[in-house]
Amino acid sequence: MKAKIYIKYKEGILDPQGKTVHNALESMDIKDISCVTIGKYIEMDFDNISKESAELITEDSCKKLLANPNTESYTFEIVD
């Protein structure tokens, strides 16, 4: 059982790393991109537990540690 967690900045929060990467891509002649945002992709592997427990643990981890509630939003999915 594994959780895939996607964390990104909330709408309206400045993402300087994304802007920098966007500029770098343009300077490399990679065009047609209107916006780049950079967040975190976290994978958590679990021991033998149910999908329900995995969801609870993941939700708890995101709330208490992984995502900054002021500036970031998160989504996740549990896969086998």
CA distance 29 to 52: 47
CA-nearest of 47, 46, 72, 40 to 58 is 46
- Figure out which of the listed residues 11, 14, 16, 28 binds a copy of itself, where binding follows CB under 8 A: 28
> What DSSP element (H or E) covers 61?
helix 51-61
Q: Kindly state whether residue 80 participates in binding a copy of itself, applying the rule CB under 8 A.
A: no
CA distance 21 to 69: 25
List the x/- string, 37-76, binding to a copy of itself by CB under 8 A. xxxxxxxxxxx-x---x---x--xx--xxx----------
Per CB under 8 A, residues contacting a copy of itself are 6-8, 18, 21, 24-25, 28, 30-47, 49, 53, 57, 60-61, 64-66
